[in-house]
Amino acid sequence: MWVYEKKLQYPVRVNKCDPRMAKFLIEQYGGADGELAAALRYLNQRYTLPDRVIGIVNDIGTEELAHLEMIATMVYKLTKDATAEQMKEAGLGPHYADHDKALYFHNAAGVPFTATYFNAKGDPITDLYEDIAAEEKARATYQWLINMTDDPDLKDGLQFLREREVVHSQRFREAVEILKEERDAKRLF
């Protein structure tokens, strides 16, 4: 069960209308290494994980939904005052034609979100290594997004998200070690 607080996990501020940057940020909204894929991956995998690590994966999956909300807020704020021409110039013409300024789950290239972006093998250690890789890819993407903006307020929010990816990767590494210890423990019968 979740309790929803009507506030973002971290404040989202932007200095200006910037649909070009919004186009890039959409990658973290509906892309393969974005927040939706991460949340669904973890919340799906938790059902076949050992009890000792379910809480870790469930907590991170839930936090990814909060990150999705932050990205949505960033994209909205970057595009809410954009004209149709600005959306077109930023490469968001097809998006605007289909959705106006509404958010839609697709990546920066406009490819719609698909469940093939994530996997669940059923082997807990394998799945956790996939989760570590997902977090590291998201961390790298956030760094590249930070590199592409000159908006200090937007950078602040993106840096927060990048650092949370680092923490998530560390937590998944801890979960792998817990499972390896359990797997390698001598069992006496």
Calculate the alpha carbon distances from 27 to 1, 40, 96, 135, 177 in Å. 29, 16, 16, 14, 31
CA–CA distance, 29 with 145 (Å, rounded to integer):
13
| Residue positions forming the annotated binding site for Mn(2+) | 35, 64, 67, 135, 168
The 10 Å Cβ neighbour count of residue 42 is 29
Which domains, and CATH codes, for the chain?
A: 19-106+121-182 (1.20.1260.10)
DSSP notation for 72-83: HHHHHHHHTT--
DSSP notation for 101-123: T---SB-TT-PBP-GGG----S-
The 10 Å Cβ neighbour count of residue 136 is 16
- Judge whether 22 and 75 are in contact, CB under 8 Å: yes
Q: What is the pLDDT of residues 18-39, one digit of tens each?
A: 999 999 999 999 999 999 999 9
Mean pLDDT of 91-99: 96
**Residue among 104, 92, 75, 60 at smallest CA distance from 12:** 75
Mean pLDDT of 41-56: 94
| Residue positions forming the annotated binding site for Ca(2+) | 59
Return the beta strands (E) in the chain as ranges: none
Q: Indicate the pTM of the whole model.
A: 0.94
User: What percentage of the chain exceeds 70 in pLDDT?
Assistant: 97
Average pLDDT score, the chain: 95
Q: What is the pLDDT of residues 126-174, one digit of tens each?
A: 999 999 999 999 999 999 999 999 999 999 999 999 999 999 999 999 9
> Could you give the angle at which helices 19-30 and 124-148 cross, rounded to 10 degrees?
180
How many residues in total does the chain contain?
189
Going by pLDDT thresholds of 50, 70 and 90, the confidence category of residue 182 is confident
Going by pLDDT thresholds of 50, 70 and 90, the confidence category of residue 3 is confident
184 against 169, higher pLDDT: 169
| Residue positions forming the annotated binding site | 35, 59, 64, 67, 135, 168
